[in-house]
């Protein structure tokens, strides 16, 4: 878990100052059937919101925890990330993820083993979900940086 937290912290530190420096034309460019870089950042905001709820809820709701998926495409469209100021998006993304890091740092070993039932009825644990969140974040940051 410690490696995931270190990687997560590094991703935030390296990118929170970088995102606002990207040329607005590049940030808003869309390719057919793809999100713009700004919309990818918006997707990361939606992901942070949902995972912040998951990472906290699992500590006080009945076990096993049931993972609730969300409609990623609708959320990006409804939240109108394409029209938002990059500094506003960056600050929201950073604030949400700083809170997630606080939770990840404070979670105990027992909680990392809490079982989570996915929508397809497969079972993972909180450790996997948190590690996967960091990998998901890195994947989309690489999309923004490319």
Confidence of residue 23 (pLDDT cuts 50, 70, 90): very high
pLDDT of res. 83: 97
pLDDT of res. 38: 98
Q: Which two tokens stand for residue 119?
A: 């929508």
How many angstroms separate the Cα of 5 from the Cα of each of 10, 25, 94, 100, 133? 9, 33, 15, 10, 11
Q: Domains in the chain, ordered, with CATH? A: 2-145 (1.20.120.450)
Confidence of residue 72 (pLDDT cuts 50, 70, 90): very high
Q: Which residues lie across from 131 on neighbouring strands? A: none
pTM score, whole prediction: 0.95
- Phi–psi pair at 18, nearest 5 degrees: -80, -45
Q: Which residues lie across from 115 on neighbouring strands? A: 125
Q: Which of 7, 107, 4 lies closest to 52 in space, CA to CA?
A: 107
Q: Are 98 and 50 in contact (CB under 8 A)?
A: no
Q: Are 1 and 112 in contact (CB under 8 A)?
A: yes
Q: Is the bond preceding 27 in cis, omega lying within 30 degrees of 0? A: no
Strand order from edge to edge, sheet including 115-117: 65-66, 115-117, 123-125
What percent of the chain clears pLDDT 70, i.e. is strictly above it?
A: 100
């Amino acid at each position: 878990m410690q490696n995931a937290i270190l990687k997560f912290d590094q991703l935030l530190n390296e990118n929170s100052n970088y995102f606002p420096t990207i040329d607005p034309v590049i940030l808003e460019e869309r390719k057919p059937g793809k999100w713009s870089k700004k919309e990818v950042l918006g997707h990361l905001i939606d992901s942070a919101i949902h995972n912040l709820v998951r990472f906290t809820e699992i500590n006080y709701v009945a076990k096993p925890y049931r993972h609730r998926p969300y409609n990623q495409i609708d959320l990006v469209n409804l939240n109108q990330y394409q029209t938002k100021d990059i500094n506003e998006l960056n600050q929201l993304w950073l604030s949400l993820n700083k809170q997630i890091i606080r939770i990840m740092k404070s979670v105990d070993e027992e909680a990392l083993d809490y079982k989570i039932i996915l929508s397809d009825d497969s079972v993972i644990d909180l450790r996997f979900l948190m590690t996967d969140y960091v990998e998901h974040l890195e994947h989309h940051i690489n999309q923004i940086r490319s």
